[in-house]
Structure 1
Amino acid sequence: MKNAAAIRYELGDSHTYEFIEGTIPTPMALEFANVASSTDEFFAYADFDDLASCLKALNQLEVYVASEGPFDGLLAFSQGATISATYLAHAQRRGVTVPFKCAIFFSTGGVFDVDLLAKGEISMLTPEDVGEVIQIPTAHIWGLNDSTVRSAAVAAVCAREKRQVFVHDGAHEIPGVRSPADVKSSVRVMRRVISMVS
């Protein structure tokens, strides 16, 4: 989430952040070629082609938030948003109180069905399967030109009266200094969600 510097700046100084880094070495995603060096190291939270890796990432997140939480909010991008949304949906399906008051998702790839993952199957949750299972306030921000995400499907499994959506003109990215209007619109949506829990 360090690539969210413009968003964090626009939100102001009243927030603190804890960054959870991935641990699995991975090649640089093509969409980061303009903002990162090819000599940088890149890490993922999970290998989505390996079910055990996905379950391990979910378990690691659960252990981390149990020991370090509760937190006021969750801010996640891409793979981190997918794992976080999956964690929230699974917890709320089991009736577990989540240690977050709200969640802000950028470019989410979907919400895995953890019960099926444990049985060796990959399947994404849909509102037809689970309704609006995530009941905390949520913001969903993604790019109109992002072909890799299922952010609209993730928004649909979140409580309608507690969700905010902004679709910017970009791709698989968090709006930054090159798109100041999108930064402001993203932050406006985020503030609406934060105000629901303040």
Structure 2
Amino acid sequence: MDQTEGFNESCLHLDETIMRNGPFDAILGFSQGAAMAALYCKHKQSLNSSLGFRFGMFFSGYRAPLKGYDGDPIRMPSLHCFGNGNDHKDRQIDPSQSVALRAMFYQGSCKTIEHDMGHIIPARSPYIDQIKDFLSKFA
């Protein structure tokens, strides 16, 4: 089965959920959810549609293969956080894949946090402080 099978149906579901329950300040994804969140933003941008979010947060993500979604970077402030420390690298998603996901975004508005805690959203200092600092820009 193709990893991106059902993508269009997923986008329609997200559109409906956002319309029904939004607006939302941000989109956040972890692991496969980060890959999908980025593709959704790329999809909205390719339609010349509003992304509908002020910023995005992508934790331990990767760039999912989907034809036709290369080209212009996603123009939205974004936080990219992933494990990449010595023996504590993310064992589920290679850090190079998280870097490839980050490359989908306009680099002038990306913030990157590399931590030493593996395949998680870090909740301790100094990483949580860096996440808070990113979020404070949108308060």
Category of TM-score, reference length = shorter chain: 0.7 to 0.9
Q: Structure 1 regions of 5+ residues with no counterpart?
A: 1-46, 117-122
Letter in 2 for 1:171: G
* Map of 1:141 onto structure 2: 81
- TM-score when normalising by structure 2: 0.79
Shift of 1:108: 1.0
Rg larger for: 1
Shift of 1:73: 1.5
Equivalent-residue separation in structure 1 for 2:117 and 2:103 (angstroms)? 21
Counterpart mapping for 1:1-198 below 5 A = 49=3, 51-52=5-6, 54-113=7-66, 116=67, 125=69, 129-132=70-73, 134-144=74-84, 145-147=89-91, 148-149=93-94, 150-176=97-123, 180-181=124-125, 184-192=126-134, 194-195=136-137, 197-198=138-139
SS of residue in 2 equivalent to 1:166: strand
Aligned residues: 132
Q: Structure 2 regions of 5+ residues with no counterpart?
A: none
Equivalent-residue separation in structure 2 for 1:143 and 1:74 (angstroms)? 20
**8 Å contact from structure 1 (residues 108, 154) kept in 2:** yes
Over the matched positions of the two proteins, sequence identity in percent amounts to: 25
Equivalent-residue separation in structure 2 for 1:140 and 1:74 (angstroms)? 12
Equivalent-residue separation in structure 2 for 1:171 and 1:193 (angstroms)? 22
**8 Å contact from structure 1 (residues 162, 193) kept in 2:** no
